[in-house]
Structure formats: C-alpha cells, structure tokens
C-alpha cells in the first residue's frame, strides 16, 4: 500500500497496475495478489484508511458542538479538510469518482464520512437563522447535504485545480463565511 501511495503522487489511480505497484515495492507481481484481488481492491483499502483518518480528524476537533464557536469551528473544519485533501487527495478523488460511478463500496465509504458531518450540520440547521420558521428534521438534513456536498466538491476542486482564478485561501475563507452564515444559530 505504501508503494501505491508513492505511485499515486505522480500517477492517476486509473494508471496503477499490480506490476507497477509490485515494482515500486521491490517484490514480485504475484505477491500483490496475496493481499489484494486487484488494483481496485487495494485502492478501496486505501480509501477506507483515508475515510477513517478523516472521521478521526473531525472527531478530534470536536467541532460544531458549541454555538459560540461556529465561525472558528468553520475555519477549523475547512483547515482539517484541506489537510486531509493534501494528505489523501489522489485516493479521495478516486473514492469520489467511484462513488459517483455507482460503486456501492465506495459510496458507503463516502456516506460514512459524510454522515459524521451531516448529523452535526443538520442539528444546527434546525435552528436556521436565515428562515423565519425552524426547519423540520428532513429539511434540515436536506440543507446539510447541499452544504456538505458543495464543501466536498470545492475541496476537491481546490486540490485538483491549482490555477483557479481565486486563491485557495480566499476560496476557503468564502466557504467558512457561507458555512457560518448557514449554521450559526439565532442570537438569543
């Protein structure tokens, strides 16, 4: 798996082969098949590791639990997400691509990560400051999905598109402002 990560630094996940991974690892190609059925199986294992790493990083920050910290929590969340994309970008992109293509295993991994964040966002959106009437549970969850999906897609774009017309720092600052406006509770 370390050899695959090394190769992913300069290659598309779609270009990886058991032979290239084994060559990078300094072992025979047959050894690859002792551990994995195919390259996608190995990429799934890497995706699972990256997903668990993201969940652990989010849990360690204890974000969006205290209404007085929403703005700083939004900044911390986006910084953590940026760090995770810098660390696991190629494999997170692959996980997203396979989930979008309908692969159930990769969809489940993406959903596992998303659910951790969605639960917290939805709870705060139930107190939606931008609406006169509070959202019911389903509408709060729907808004959380829209918000989270845009954050995830933009994190991918910032990581994969280095020549965006606006700097990554400005994009993240804009994300933090929008996130804060969406989930900050009404003032008492």
Q: Where are the domains of the chain?
A: 1-35, 39-183
Output the furthest CA–CA distance in the chain (Å, rounded): 66
Residue pair 137/126 in contact (Cβ under 8 Å)? The answer is yes
Structure tokens, 46? 């890497």
Q: Which residue has the tokens 């159930």?
A: 104
Range 51-65 average pLDDT: 91
Domain 39-183: assigned CATH number: 1.10.357.10
State residue 188's pLDDT score.
44
Q: Which value, to the nearest 10 degrees, does the dihedral of the CA atoms of residues 101, 106, 112, 113 take?
A: -80
Answer whether CATH 3.10.50 is correct for domain 1-35: no
Please report which residue ranges of 9-160 form alpha helices under DSSP H.
Answer: 18-25, 29-35, 39-61, 70-100, 104-125, 137-160
DSSP codes joined into one string, 163-177: T-SS-HHHHHHHHHH
A 10 A CB-CB count for 110 gives 19
* CA–CA dist 41, 106 (Å, integer): 11
* CA–CA dist 179, 151 (Å, integer): 9
* CA–CA dist 28, 32 (Å, integer): 7
* CA–CA dist 30, 25 (Å, integer): 12
pTM for the full model? 0.86
* CA–CA dist 124, 113 (Å, integer): 18
Distances (CA, A) of 35 to 25, 54, 85, 110, 187: 13, 24, 26, 23, 55
**Weakest mean pLDDT among 12-16, 107-111, 183-187:** 183-187
Q: What's the pLDDT tens digit per position in 103-162?
A: 999 999 999 999 999 998 898 888 766 667 788 899 999 999 999 998 988 888 777 776
Do the domains 39-183 and 1-35 match in fold?
Answer: no
């Amino acid at each position: 798996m370390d050899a695959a990560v090394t190769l992913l630094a300069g290659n598309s996940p779609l270009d990886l082969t058991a032979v290239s991974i084994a060559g990078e690892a300094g072992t025979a190609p047959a050894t690859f098949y002792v551990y994995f059925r195919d390259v996608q199986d190995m990429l799934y294992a890497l995706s699972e590791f990256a997903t668990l790493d993201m969940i652990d990083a989010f849990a360690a920050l204890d974000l969006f639990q205290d209404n007085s910290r929403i703005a700083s929590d939004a900044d911390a969340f986006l910084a953590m997400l940026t760090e995770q994309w810098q660390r696991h970008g190629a494999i997170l992109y692959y996980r997203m691509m396979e989930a979008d293509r309908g692969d159930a295993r990769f969809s489940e991994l993406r959903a596992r990560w998303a659910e951790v964040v969605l639960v917290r966002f939805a709870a705060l959106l139930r107190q939606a400051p931008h609406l006169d009437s509070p959202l019911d549970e389903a509408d709060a969850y729907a808004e959380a999905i829209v918000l989270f999906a845009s954050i995830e897609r933009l994190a991918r774009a910032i990581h994969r598109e280095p020549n965006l017309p606006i700097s990554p720092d400005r994009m993240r600052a804009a994300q933090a402002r929008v996130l804060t406006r969406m989930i900050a509770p009404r003032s008492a």
